[in-house]
A = this chain, B = another copy of it.
Amino acid sequence: MVVYSELNPPPRLLLGPGPSNVAPRVLKAMSMPTIGHLDPAFLQLMSDVQTLLRHTFRTDNWLTLPISGTGSAGMEAAIANFVEPGDPVLVCINGYFGERLAEMANRYGAKVYRLEKPWGEIFTPEEVDAALREHPAKIVAIVHAETSTGVLQPLEGISEVVHKHGALILVDAVTSLGGVPLFVDDWDLDIVYSGTQKALSCPPGLAPITVSERAEEVLSRRKTKVISWYLDLTMVRKYWGVERTYHHTAPINMIYGLREALRIVQEEGLERRWHRHRRNATFLWTGLESLGFQLVVPREYRLPTLTTVYVPEGVNGAFVQRRLLEDYNIEIGGGLGAFRGKVWRIGLMGESSRREHVVLLLAALKEILRL
């Protein structure tokens, strides 16, 4: 029988598309003794997490809670609960995660209409309006922060158009929540999900979701059961609500971690946090450009939490990533899908968004590429 050594993960600086580095306070919270999922002391922690999540989402939505899975489980919960077989859904696709939304909607039986733009571009309200005129939809799904391209999608105008057409707006905020301005109530967004391992700097394992009253009514009026039992919000909300009805065992220690991560967000202040992310991203952008790198996304809709940069002509992108990891303990990401081999993805999220990390990364790139 093989003997397995004590766990000893390398000291990585996580500057990829996620996970980001986790604050010691969050790791410490996760190592507190497990208690029961129906313990009154745990129910109080659940309420804390809901209040803190509402604060972070900038919403008063009652139905705000963490789904017991990683970001993709949040995406699936959003689709599974609001799509019924045959429902028309317009999916805005300008990257890998828009594509994933379409794939999930298809699996849950939606009639999917694809509104496509090239990777790295954004959608305008006029484009969404035109698409909805052609194909009325029950739901419009769109990605706020495309982790595959580094694009920050403006949402206010689109939300208005979607509601003018009587549809719901479903938003992927995996790489935006806690890192860039997101106003669920002011922008009138209906279904918004995220992940914990990006700008919230909690380990992966939970997917915060928030649902507007309008969308909750749609949920209550479903004619068919939600196919996914595990993600069924009509039941999950009774565990998180006053009934406290047992559904599935909550991932207790992950909830501990999320509570602590959200406390840190609150202590820093959301606006200050957004500002920090933008300041460090700007510093990175300037540094990369001064080293001769070309950024993929135009400045006006460039995402502060995740930067895409072209791999220079004649350079092996994967080789550079390996050198960064092995010689400097720095993780950055490669391109996905259409961008495979063509770009690097540099994340500055949560705890990872620090000036000294940018300085180190730029210096390391300079050494490796002899710039």
Contacts and interface: CB of A to CB of B under 8 A. Distances in A.
Contacts of A21: 33-34
B252 A203 contact: yes
A147 to B, nearest CB: 10
- Grouping DSSP codes into helix (H, G, I), strand (E, B) and loop, the A interface class, with mixed when no group exceeds half, is loop
A69 B207 CA distance: 11
Contacts of A289: none
B9 A36 contact: no
Interface stretch (A23-31, A127-135, A162-170, A279-287): A23-31
Contact of A35 (B4, B14, B70, B205): B14
A253 interface: yes
B7 A19 contact: no
Contact of A204 (B14, B37, B107): B37
B19 A37 contact: yes
Nearest to A96: B246
B250 A204 contact: yes
A339 to B, nearest CB: 13
Interface string A1-42: 110100111111010101101100001111111111101111
B27 A9 contact: no
A253 B205 contact: yes
Copies in the complex: 2
Given A35-B9, A35-B10, A37-B204, A71 B27 contact: no
A185 interface: no
Interface stretch (A57-65, A210-218, A224-232, A361-369): A224-232
Interface stretch (A44-52, A150-158, A293-301): A44-52
A209 interface: no
B204 A70 contact: no
Given A7-B29, A203-B253, A259-B4, A331 B22 contact: no
A205 B10 CA distance: 23
A228 B227 CA distance: 8
A263 interface: yes
B249 A204 contact: yes
Interface in A176-226: 195, 197, 203-205, 225-226
B195 A249 contact: yes
Given A4-B263, A266-B1, A27 B33 contact: yes
A12 B33 contact: yes
Contact of A7 (B1, B259, B266, B325): B259
Interface string A63-92: 000001111110010001000000000000
Contact of A249 (B31, B76, B197, B250): B197
Interface string A263-279: 10010000000000000
Given A34-B19, A107-B225, A76 B230 contact: yes
- Sorted nearest first, the 7 A-B pairs with minimum C-beta distance are A205-B251, A31-B31, A72-B248, A203-B253, A27-B31, A204-B249, A76-B230
28 contacts: A1-B55, A7-B259, A9-B41, A12-B33, A12-B39, A27-B30, A28-B31, A30-B31, A34-B197, A37-B204, A39-B325, A68-B73, A68-B205, A69-B73, A69-B230, A71-B249, A72-B249, A76-B228, A80-B228, A100-B229, A107-B227, A197-B252, A203-B254, A204-B250, A204-B252, A205-B253, A246-B336, A251-B251
Given A4-B263, A203-B253, A228-B228, 4 more contacts: A7-B29, A68-B70, A103-B229, A203-B252
